[in-house]
């Protein structure tokens, strides 16, 4: 409790960490890959303050409001760190009534004063990556595009179909509860119990419904018959033929939505990843329609691990951790969910007081996606080759006795390369030793060296050497070029190395990756960051 320690604590605050090195490079690539998808669908980005007036956040997160970080009262307004990106977005929409529709994305950190579990990736400061479509449109069209975006994001990350998009609809769920005989006032709490079916067996969930929440056993059993069902079109067809269910007004509306959605998902080529799963309920109250969550098969063992841990945590904390979060697949949830969201048509009205703007959105759990991506790279042995920087050319010099170091000549060459937009560096030493310069280049994974010797220098020449060429390669020892031709000669070799005319290599930007994918016939969608 904040004891006054005299000794100096050299650490980051509990539940936070520094991002550095290869982790940072990999995370940046993931952000870049996801952002590409968002832009492909016409999204713009929005940047809101890291803290909000406390009253903006009040009453939005139920009992999890206790996890909100408050700023100290230093006079003036009372503020809190944002808990998610959805409430600030809804606040912004309400403040800007001229904006009646928008596709916006927001990648930023959010803050929850939860018990951190770093090894499981549950942090107090963590990134969310949100995409939302706000506006009044024909039914299920934005919803279908959100699911298409989910597909493109995970294909872009190279997950190659190894994930499942679980779907359900709040109106269908409410209809089910209603026709099974759940009293109106118990619908949300019974819905929360259903939400645990991905982690607990039905017997356990039934016990919670009946013993803890006082539901009639026969009603619970009826619910049990519904919520174990999952499938695709055939499940939808079966539910439509269920006269009792489709006689319920809410369920009928939900089923109509789902029917449209399935048609649209087929047109968008996403149906293969879908599981219509009646056990999916999602924690938060504000969903009003379609809800979804992405789980990945690849992370199944991790999920099982997290499942055990989550159960243990629940026992010790006495609170249901699965309900910690809003619609997001943040690290506080775990259990295999890497993205989640749904439709929330009434949230903006909580701020505007009158005008509603229907919204549907998705939140990607970046820390979890990062862990899975990194684990895959390590399994594929591609992580080792991730470079920290993007330098393409190391400018070196060498000489015999009385060697001056050719410092200004090296600087002049670096200047020429920088002027041409080429990523280059040189040793910060007046008289560097050649082996040390090679070692620096090697450690950095730099593909090319430009080497200045006193003799070549006197003739207005230098050497370009591609590093790491095999024995017997014609340019193994490098080639001598006129200094006047240095830039085109370097660009030519960089281009040859990457196969793209005139674009320098190193870590390719996604746009270039896409072009590479086009050239090789690989689908532009999956070409995202396959090189990882």
Q: Which of residues 350-369 bind a second copy (CB under 8 A)?
A: 351-353
Write a three-state SS string for 434-454.
HHHHHHHHHHCCCCEEEEEEH
Q: CA-to-CA distance for 178 and 181, rounded, in angstroms?
A: 5
CB of 508 to a second copy, least distance (A): 9
Closest CA to 283 of 212, 229, 334, 341: 341
Q: Name the strand (E) or helix (H) holding 53.
A: strand 51-53
Q: Would you call 81 helix, strand, or coil by DSSP?
A: strand
Question: Looking at beta carbons only, is 165 or 278 nearer to a second copy?
Answer: 165
Strand order in the sheet with 164-169: 44-45, 102-111, 125-134, 359-365, 337-344, 290-295, 164-169, 274-277, 230-231
Q: CA-to-CA distance for 500 and 512, rounded, in angstroms?
A: 8
Determine, following the binding rule CB under 8 A, whether residue 418 of this chain makes contact with a second copy: yes
**Residue numbers belonging to the annotated binding site for L-histidine:** 84-86, 112, 128, 132, 282, 286-287
For residue 305, list its beta bridge partners: none
Measured from the Cβ of residue 21, the count of other Cβ atoms closer than 10 Å reads 10
Q: CA-to-CA distance for 88 and 234, rounded, in angstroms?
A: 39
Under 8 Å between Cβ of 260 and 266:
no
Site for a second copy in 67-106 (CB under 8 A): 69-79, 81, 91-92, 94-96, 103
Question: Looking at beta carbons only, is 74 or 470 nearer to a second copy?
Answer: 74
Question: Looking at beta carbons only, is 22 or 213 nearer to a second copy?
Answer: 22
Determine, following the binding rule CB under 8 A, whether residue 202 of this chain makes contact with a second copy: no
For residue 453, list its beta bridge partners: 398
Question: Looking at beta carbons only, is 389 or 404 nearer to a second copy?
Answer: 389
Site for a second copy in 257-316 (CB under 8 A): 263-264, 267-269
Site for a second copy in 133-192 (CB under 8 A): 135, 137-138, 141-142, 144-145, 148, 152
Question: Looking at beta carbons only, is 153 or 481 nearer to a second copy?
Answer: 153
Q: Would you call 177 helix, strand, or coil by DSSP?
A: helix
Instruction: Using alpha carbons, list the distances in angstroms from residue 259 to 179, 225, 227, 244, 498.
Output: 20, 22, 19, 18, 46
The window from 192-200, 216-224, 346-354, 455-463 that contacts a second copy (CB under 8 A) reads 346-354
x/- binding map, residues 118-137, to a second copy, per CB under 8 A? Answer: -------x---------x-x
CB of 408 to a second copy, least distance (A): 5
Question: Looking at beta carbons only, is 187 or 512 nearer to a second copy?
Answer: 512
CB of 359 to a second copy, least distance (A): 13
The window from 39-47, 176-184, 207-215, 282-290 that contacts a second copy (CB under 8 A) reads 39-47
Site for a second copy in 426-465 (CB under 8 A): 428-430, 444
The structure tokens listed for 305 are 């691990």
Q: Would you call 396 helix, strand, or coil by DSSP?
A: strand
Under 8 Å between Cβ of 194 and 223:
yes
DSSP symbol at 250: H
Question: Looking at beta carbons only, is 187 or 495 nearer to a second copy?
Answer: 495
CB contact set of 84 (below 8 Å; sequence gap of 6+): 110, 128, 325, 326, 328, 363
Kindly state the number of chain residues that form the binding site for a second copy, as judged by CB under 8 A.
111
Site for a second copy in 374-403 (CB under 8 A): 388-391
The window from 235-243, 284-292, 425-433, 463-471 that contacts a second copy (CB under 8 A) reads 425-433
CB of 251 to a second copy, least distance (A): 23
CB of 209 to a second copy, least distance (A): 34
Q: Are strands 393-398 and 424-426 parallel, antiparallel or unpaired?
A: parallel
Closest CA to 176 of 240, 251, 247: 251
**Residue numbers belonging to the annotated binding site:** 84-86, 112, 128, 132, 282, 286-287
Question: Looking at beta carbons only, is 7 or 241 nearer to a second copy?
Answer: 7
The window from 12-20, 160-168, 184-192, 339-347 that contacts a second copy (CB under 8 A) reads 12-20
Question: Looking at beta carbons only, is 206 or 515 nearer to a second copy?
Answer: 515
Q: Are strands 102-111 and 230-231 parallel, antiparallel or unpaired?
A: unpaired
Question: Looking at beta carbons only, is 28 or 211 nearer to a second copy?
Answer: 28
CB of 8 to a second copy, least distance (A): 7
CB of 126 to a second copy, least distance (A): 10
Determine, following the binding rule CB under 8 A, whether residue 8 of this chain makes contact with a second copy: yes
CB of 149 to a second copy, least distance (A): 9
Closest CA to 367 of 12, 156, 532, 128: 128
CB of 164 to a second copy, least distance (A): 20
Residue from 113, 162, 252, 463 in contact with a second copy (CB under 8 A): 113
Measured from the Cβ of residue 411, the count of other Cβ atoms closer than 10 Å reads 12
The tokens 């299920």 sit on which residue?
A: 140
Site for a second copy in 476-515 (CB under 8 A): 491, 502-503, 509, 511-512, 514-515
């Amino acid at each position: 409790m904040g004891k006054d320690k005299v000794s100096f604590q050299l650490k980051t605050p509990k539940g936070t960490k520094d991002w550095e090195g290869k982790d940072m490079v990999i995370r940046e690539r993931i952000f870049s890959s996801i952002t590409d998808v968002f832009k492909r669908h016409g999204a713009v980005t929005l940047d809101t303050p890291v803290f909000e007036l406390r009253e903006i956040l009040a009453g939005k997160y139920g009992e999890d409001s206790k996890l909100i970080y408050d700023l100290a009262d230093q006079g003036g307004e009372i503020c809190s760190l944002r808990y998610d990106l959805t409430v600030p977005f809804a606040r912004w929409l309400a403040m800007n009534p001229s904006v009646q529709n928008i596709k916006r994305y927001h990648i930023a950190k959010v803050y929850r004063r939860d018990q951190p579990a770093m090894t499981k990736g549950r942090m107090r400061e963590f990134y969310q990556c949100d995409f939302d479509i706000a506006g009044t449109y024909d039914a299920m069209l934005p919803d279908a595009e959100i699911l298409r975006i989910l597909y493109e994001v995970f294909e872009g990350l190279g997950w190659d179909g190894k994930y499942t998009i679980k779907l359900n609809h709040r109106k269908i769920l409410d209809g089910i509860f209603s026709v099974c005989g759940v009293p109106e006032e118990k619908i949300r709490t019974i819905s929360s119990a259903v939400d645990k079916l991905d982690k607990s067996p039905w017997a356990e969930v039934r016990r919670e419904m009946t013993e803890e929440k006082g539901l009639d056993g026969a009603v619970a059993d009826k619910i049990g018959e519904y919520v174990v069902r999952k499938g695709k079109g055939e499940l939808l067809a079966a539910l439509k033929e269920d006269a009792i269910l489709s006689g319920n007004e809410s369920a009928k509306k939900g089923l109509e939505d789902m029917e449209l959605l399935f048609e649209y998902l087929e047109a968008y080529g996403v149906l293969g990843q879908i599981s219509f799963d009646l056990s999916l309920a999602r924690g938060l109250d504000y969903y009003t329609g379609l809800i979804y969550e992405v789980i990945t098969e690849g992370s199944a063992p991790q999920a099982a691990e997290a499942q055990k841990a989550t159960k243990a945590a629940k026992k010790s904390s006495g609170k249901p951790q699965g309900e910690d979060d809003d619609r997001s697949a943040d690290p506080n949830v775990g259990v295999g969910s890497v993205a989640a969201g749904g439709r929330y048509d009434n949230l903006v009205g909580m701020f505007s007081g009158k005008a509603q703007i229907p919204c549907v959105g998705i939140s990607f759990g970046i820390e979890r996606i990062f862990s899975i991506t990194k684990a895959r790279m390590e399994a594929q042995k591609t992580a080792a080759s991730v470079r920290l920087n993007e330098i393409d050319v190391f400018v070196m010099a060498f000489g015999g006795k009385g060697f001056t170091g050719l410092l200004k000549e090296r600087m002049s060459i670096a200047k020429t390369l920088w002027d041409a937009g080429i990523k280059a560096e040189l040793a910060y030493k007046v008289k560097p030793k050649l082996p040390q310069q090679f070692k620096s280049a090697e450690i950095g994974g730099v593909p090319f060296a430009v080497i200045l010797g006193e003799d070549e220098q006197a003739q207005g020449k230098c050497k370009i050497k591609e590093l790491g060429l095999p024995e017997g390669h014609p340019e193994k020892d490098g080639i001598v070029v006129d200094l006047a031709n240095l830039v085109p000669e370097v660009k030519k070799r960089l281009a040859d190395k990457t196969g793209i005319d005139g674009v320098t290599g190193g870590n390719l930007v996604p746009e270039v990756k896409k072009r590479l994918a086009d050239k090789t016939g690989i689908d532009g969608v999956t070409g995202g960051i396959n090189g990882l």
